[in-house]
C-alpha cells in the first residue's frame, strides 16, 4: 500500500521569505498524481497544487511551486514571498492514476508565518 | 454558494446517541467520500461512493455507515457514538471523467462525543 510521509510536523517562516515543505511517498506504481492541500484555521481543505507523475516539468501556481523528484519519490512544496495568509496546515496527498483509486494523505505540516 | 456543503458544522453529542452528518454537492460529481481527520494523522477514508448504487468501505469504516440518497447527497451515520469518534469529518467529491484526480472538500463538521 502507498504511504505518504511529511517529516516536518511544524515549520515557521518570516513574512516575505521562502519556505519549503517536504513530502516523500512510497509506491511501486509509475503513473499517479500528487497534491498539496492547504487547511487554514477555517478548516476548509483547499487545493494548492497538483502534479502528474508522467510530467517532468514541476508544477507552479503563482507563489507556490513543487520540486518533484520521481526517482527519489519526493514532492516538496516551495512557498515564495510568504504571506500571513499562508499560515495553515499543509497536507501532501497521493493518488494512483487508474480510476477507482483513492487518495492517501500525509499527516500534515503546520506552517506559521511570522510578521 | 459553496459547491460542497456539510451540515451541521459543529455537533456535540453523548455516548450511545445516533448521529447523522450530511453532505450535499452542486458540482455534478459522481464520486463522494467521507474522511475523518485526527491531529497528526492526516485524513483517513471512512467510506466512498462512485455512484448512487456503488458504496465501498474505506480504511476505518467500523462504527460508521453511509447512505447515498442521490447523486448530490451522501450521509454519514454513527449508529452509537463513542468518545473516540470525536474528530473533524470531511466530505469530498470528485468527477468521473478526465478530472477524477482532484478532490473538492466541504467545510468540515467538528463532532464531539462526550
pLDDT at B90 over 80: yes
Pairing of strands B10-13, B43-51: unpaired
- Average pLDDT over all residues of chain A: 92
- Candidates A95, A38, A45; CA nearest to B101 is A95
Q: In this complex, do A97 and B96 lie within 8 Å of one another by their Cβ atoms?
A: no
pLDDT, residue A109, reads: 96
Q: Are A31 and A39 in contact (CB under 8 A)?
A: no
- Candidates A79, A92, A81, A73; CA nearest to A28 is A73
C-alpha cell at A18: 521562502
Q: By three-state DSSP, how is residue A85 classified? A: helix
Q: In this complex, do B45 and A102 lie within 8 Å of one another by their Cβ atoms?
A: yes
**Dihedral angle of Cα B64, B65, B71, B73, to the nearest 10 degrees:** -60
Check residue A102 and report its DSSP letter. Answer: P
Q: What is the rounded distance in angstroms from the CA atom of residue A112 to the CA atom of residue B34?
A: 28
Q: What is the rounded distance in angstroms from the CA atom of residue A58 to the CA atom of residue B45?
A: 28
Of residues B41, B90, B101, nearest to A95 (C-beta): B101
Of residues A44, A47, A105, nearest to B42 (C-beta): A105
Cα A87–A107–A82 angle (5° rounding)? 20
Cβ partners under 8 Å of residue B107, min gap 6 = A42, A43, A44, B2, B4, B5, B6, B9
Chain B residue nearest residue A109, CA to CA: B40
Q: In this complex, do B42 and A43 lie within 8 Å of one another by their Cβ atoms?
A: no
Q: What is the rounded distance in angstroms from the CA atom of residue A10 to the CA atom of residue A88?
A: 10
Pairing of strands B10-13, B109-113: parallel
Best of B6, B56, B103, B111 to disrupt the A interface (most A CBs within 10 Å) is B103
Chain B residue nearest residue A99, CA to CA: B100
Q: What is the rounded distance in angstroms from the CA atom of residue B105 to the CA atom of residue B92?
A: 4
- Average pLDDT over all residues of chain B: 91
pLDDT, residue B16, reads: 96
Chain B residue nearest residue A47, CA to CA: B104
pLDDT, tens only, A41-91: 888 899 999 998 888 899 999 999 999 999 999 999 999 999 999 999 999
For residues B70-91, give the mean pLDDT.
96
Confidence of residue B1 (pLDDT cuts 50, 70, 90): low
Q: What is the rounded distance in angstroms from the CA atom of residue B59 to the CA atom of residue B114?
A: 24
Which residues 45-104 in chain A show a CB within 8 A of chain B?
45-47, 50, 52, 91, 95, 97, 99-100, 102-103
Number of cross-chain residue pairs from A and B with Cβ atoms under 8 Å apart:
47
Amino acid at each position: 500500500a502507498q504511504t505518504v510521509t511529511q517529516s516536518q510536523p511544524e515549520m515557521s517562516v518570516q513574512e516575505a521569505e521562502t519556505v519549503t515543505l517536504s513530502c516523500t511517498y512510497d509506491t511501486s506504481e509509475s503513473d499517479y498524481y500528487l497534491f498539496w492541500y492547504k487547511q487554514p484555521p477555517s478548516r476548509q481543505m483547499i487545493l494548492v497544487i497538483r502534479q502528474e507523475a508522467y510530467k517532468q516539468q514541476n508544477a507552479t501556481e503563482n507563489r507556490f511551486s513543487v520540486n518533484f523528484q520521481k526517482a527519489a519519490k519526493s514532492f516538496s512544496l516551495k512557498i515564495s514571498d510568504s504571506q500571513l495568509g499562508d499560515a495553515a496546515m499543509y497536507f501532501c496527498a497521493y493518488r494512483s492514476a487508474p480510476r477507482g483509486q483513492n487518495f492517501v494523505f500525509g499527516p500534515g505540516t503546520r506552517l506559521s508565518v511570522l510578521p | 454558494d459553496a459547491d460542497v456543503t456539510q451540515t451541521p458544522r459543529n455537533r456535540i453529542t453523548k455516548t450511545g446517541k445516533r448521529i447523522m452528518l450530511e453532505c450535499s454537492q452542486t458540482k455534478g460529481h459522481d464520486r463522494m467520500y467521507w474522511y475523518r481527520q485526527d491531529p497528526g494523522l492526516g485524513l483517513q477514508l471512512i467510506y466512498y461512493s462512485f455512484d448512487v448504487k456503488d458504496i465501498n468501505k474505506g480504511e476505518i469504516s467500523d462504527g460508521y455507515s453511509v447512505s447515498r440518497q442521490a447523486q448530490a447527497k451522501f450521509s454519514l451515520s454513527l449508529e452509537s457514538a463513542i468518545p473516540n469518534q470525536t474528530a473533524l469529518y470531511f466530505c469530498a467529491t470528485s468527477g468521473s471523467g478526465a478530472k477524477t484526480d482532484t478532490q473538492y472538500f466541504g467545510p468540515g463538521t467538528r463532532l464531539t462525543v462526550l
